Amino acid sequence: MARAHMAESGHTGDTVDGGSRAGSRAWRDRWGVRGPGIWRRGLVLAALAVLLALAMMLHADIPNSVGNLGSLWETFLPWSGVPILLLLAGALLRRSATALIAVLLPLLVWANLFAGQLTSKSGTGGDLTVVTHNVNAENPDPQGTAKALAASGADVVALEEVTSKQADTFEKGLERSHRHHKLLGTVGLWSKYPMRDVRSVDLKMGWPRAMRATVSTPKGDVAVYVAHLPSVRVQFRSGFTAGKRDGSAAALGYAIRHEKADKIVLLGDLNGTMNDRSLSPITSQMRSVQGAAGDGMGFSWPASFPMARIDQIMVKGATPVSAWSLPSTGSDHLPIAASVDLSD
């Protein structure tokens, strides 16, 4: 009886083991993961993955001579993660080991460029809290926007794209919380602290779109710049039209380079991201608070579905502590805020 039982048990085990192996072979046959096919499929996907990785690594070498293609690519560079996901899905559907391995290349490049921005680097404290907001010339609720900015708790508020019709609304809406203010052209600065040496900054546009002021904070004087660089457009024939923006960026960079103050804060809508090489006259000499102390990507435009951070807060001679976005107002931009340390 014992031998019969053992024999029966052994026979059952062989059947189960054999069935398992047969099922495994059937699965491999069905999904095509046996033989050389798994390496031969998906070669086009693999090539696209390698090209994408090279475009990300060498983004600064993509020429601007044709439609400012390099700047356009750099503006939306964080979104290169989307084609990576599409390539990954394609590699899985094609059941291609070659494509899967190739997709790792752009994935690693993207992680090296942007993974650090997915985590919060914000600290606490800070000596000066600032807000900048493109309020939109067609803002349907400037009064509500002014109320939200007044309640933000910022020491300094910079506004861009303020029309003559909106000016009185923003002046009245912010005068109780920020009694010191100046509006030049379509840009303005409101401060809880006294301001002096207020003047326009020439952006080579023919009308005021930038200004600077010395703000006397409890931690000392700070030169605060407010700027709204020209808009850019993506057109089929001419590509990424950013010539006026680039010229104004050079002019603003020149002004900042010749600023005598030790501590400088730049607030404004620069119509470009920190990755865009055309803003290097500015970005090469200042530090982005979002990059140093932000929480996430910090995209600010468009407000309905933010895709790029074209509104910037940058510092020189000061230390970023935290950076964040404020809730949407009636504008097509989100207001952005930051806290900075002014200690020597």
Chain centre to alpha carbon of residue 329: 19
Kindly report whether the peptide bond that precedes residue 302 is cis, defined as omega within 30 degrees of 0: yes
Question: Is the pTM higher than 0.75?
Answer: yes
Query: Is 129:154 a contact under the CB 8 Å cutoff?
Result: yes
**Quick one: which of 295, 300, 298 has its CA closest to 311?**
300
**What is the number of other CB atoms lying within 10 angstroms of the CB of residue 249?**
25
Cα 121 from Cα 296, distance rounded (Å): 8
Print burial letters for 3-37: b (CB count within 10 Å at least 16), e (below 16).
eeeeeeeeeeeeeeeeeeeeeeeeeeeeeeeeeee
Chain centre to alpha carbon of residue 90: 27
The per-residue pLDDT for 174 is 98
Cα 250 from Cα 3, distance rounded (Å): 93
Domain positions in the chain: 32-118, 128-341
Decide: residue 75, CB within 10 A, 0-12 exposed, 13-18 middle, 19+ buried. buried
Residue 292 amino acid letter: A
Per-residue pLDDT 10s for the chain (344 aa) are 444 444 444 445 555 565 566 555 554 555 555 556 788 899 999 999 999 999 999 999 999 887 788 888 999 999 999 999 999 999 999 999 999 999 999 999 999 999 988 888 999 999 999 999 999 999 999 999 999 999 999 999 999 999 999 999 999 999 999 999 999 999 999 999 999 999 999 999 888 999 999 999 999 999 999 999 998 876 555 556 677 899 999 999 999 999 999 999 999 999 999 999 999 999 999 999 999 999 899 999 999 999 999 999 999 999 999 999 999 999 999 999 999 999 96
Q: Which CATH architecture has domain 128-341?
A: 4-Layer Sandwich (3.60)
Residue 119 amino acid letter: T
Residues contacting 1, CB < 8 A, separation 6+: none
Cα 48 from Cα 36, distance rounded (Å): 21
